[in-house]
């Protein structure tokens, strides 16, 4: 039997749920916890002005990472708030009489939930089907669009299967009907190129902890500038962030998001190339040893670090629990505890049984070749152990049954 090498640390392969905060980001944030702790709204004194300048520098960094202008960026607490602000805020501000919203079938729940809430308020909400690889069915989208549609929401990169959507093509279809296009890009920054000018999106959500920044911070891009945003605020108060998102600004978090965004775009190509090689090596090792395993998503159009593997007959919650120091996920971390299988996996055609047998592996900036090999070997050995235990249990039950009938 092949023995696993001794480990002094766990192997983190849950980069879609959250990324480690880059030490360079932490270093940039540290002065704004204590040394420059002032409220950026206190612009009369020096420290207040320093804090305000740090916020504006971060705004420039975030804008540059997606090809936007600084005045297009509003800071939020994360992609969930950004998604809610984009969807609910635009719906409440809509004055054109349009009451139709379209959302992709595999969107994050922070998109689908506000859409459902608008349905209760009289809006017509429809779900755009996807192909088996997770990409939006463009023919179906074309048929669904009409002059009543005011908003379409499509994720740039899926958080479970890594599928990349053809946003420019989607945007062209959406704008032909005069509707707005919102894009949840939480999983995209640092993984694919984002250029809001060429893609044409009107609203785009970002999250700090998905791109090696801190948790609790995000941003919403608004085409044409936040001051002219077709949005109604969801948070009222002191009028911060162009009166679209009131509340004292999280200066350390904003500084961290700015630094993370700059690093993510600057190192995107080199990171993606190395991470893709690790992912492919991992999948080759696993699928060679477990021939029944199969990949999910658009294999030719998925982000480098994603590996969604279905292991038929294996209950992956038990598998993840037994992996010990290999840390991965069975699905979206935001939806843990749900009794139903992943809506993403069922939307692409997996059965309930296969959805419950699907593992999500996420590689990232700090993944190594040694970690990858260790994880692949550990996964294969654990699957084999579960298989042996299951076979032994079946034999025991059969033996007890045979004994009873005799």
Give the sheet arrangement for strand 306-310, strand by strand: 294-295, 306-310, 358-362
Cα(166)–Cα(138) distance, rounded to whole angstroms?
9
CB 325 within 8 A of CB 7: yes
Q: Active-site positions?
A: 334
**What are residue 8's DSSP bridge partners?**
none
Q: With CA atoms as reference, report the closest residue to 363 among 350, 353, 376, 378.
A: 376
Q: Give me the residue label for tokens 């699957």.
A: 383
Smallest CA-to-CA distance from 221 within 195, 202, 200, 239 is with: 202
How far apart (Å, rounded) are the C-alpha atoms in residues 258 and 270? 20
Contact 159, 240 (CB under 8 A): no
Vertex 343: Cα angle to 213 and 207 (nearest 5):
15
Query: How many helices (H) does the chain have, and how many strands (E)?
Result: 13, 12
């Amino acid at each position: 039997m092949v023995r696993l090498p001794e480990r002094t640390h766990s192997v983190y392969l849950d980069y879609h749920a959250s990324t480690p905060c880059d030490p360079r980001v932490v270093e940039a944030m540290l002065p704004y916890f204590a040394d420059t702790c002032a409220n950026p709204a206190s612009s009369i004194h020096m420290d207040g002005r320093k804090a305000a300048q740090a916020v504006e520098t971060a705004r420039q960094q975030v804008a540059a990472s997606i090809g936007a202008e600084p005045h297009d960026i509003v800071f939020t607490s994360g992609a969930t708030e950004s998604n809610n602000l984009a969807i609910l805020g635009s719906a409440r501000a809509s004055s054109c009489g349009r009451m139709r919203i379209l959302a992709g079938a595999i969107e994050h729940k922070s998109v689908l939930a506000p859409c459902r809430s608008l349905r209760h308020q009289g809006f017509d909400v429809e779900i755009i089907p996807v192909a088996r690889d997770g990409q939006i069915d463009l023919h179906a989208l074309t048929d669904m669009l009409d002059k009543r549609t005011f908003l379409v929401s499509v994720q740039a990169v899926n958080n479970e299967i890594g599928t990349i959507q053809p946003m420019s093509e989607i945007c062209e279809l959406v704008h032909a009907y005069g509707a707005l296009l919102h894009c949840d890009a939480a999983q995209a920054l640092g993984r694919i190129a984002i250029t809001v000018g060429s893609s044409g999106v009107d609203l785009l959500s970002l999250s700090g902890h998905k791109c090696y920044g801190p948790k609790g911070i995000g941003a919403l891009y608004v085409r044409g500038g936040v001051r002219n945003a077709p949005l109604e605020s969801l948070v009222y108060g002191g009028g911060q962030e162009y009166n679209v998102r009131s509340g004292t600004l999280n200066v350390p978090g904003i500084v961290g998001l700015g630094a993370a965004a700059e690093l993510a775009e600057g190192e995107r190509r080199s990171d993606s190339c190395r991470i893709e090689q690790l992912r492919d090596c991992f999948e080759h090792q696993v699928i060679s040893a477990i021939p029944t395993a199969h990949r999910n998503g658009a294999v030719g159009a998925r982000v480098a670090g994603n590996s969604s593997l279905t292991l038929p007959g294996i209950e992956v919650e038990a598998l993840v629990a037994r992996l010990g120091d290999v840390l991965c996920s069975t699905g979206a971390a935001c939806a843990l505890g749900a009794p139903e299988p992943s809506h993403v996996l069922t939307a692409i055609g997996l059965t309930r049984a296969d959805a419950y047998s699907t593992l999500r592996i996420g590689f990232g900036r700090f993944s190594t070749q040694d970690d990858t090999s260790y994880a692949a070997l550990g996964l294969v050995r654990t699957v084999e152990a579960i298989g042996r235990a299951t076979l032994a249990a079946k034999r025991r039950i059969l033996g007890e049954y045979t004994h009873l009938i005799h």
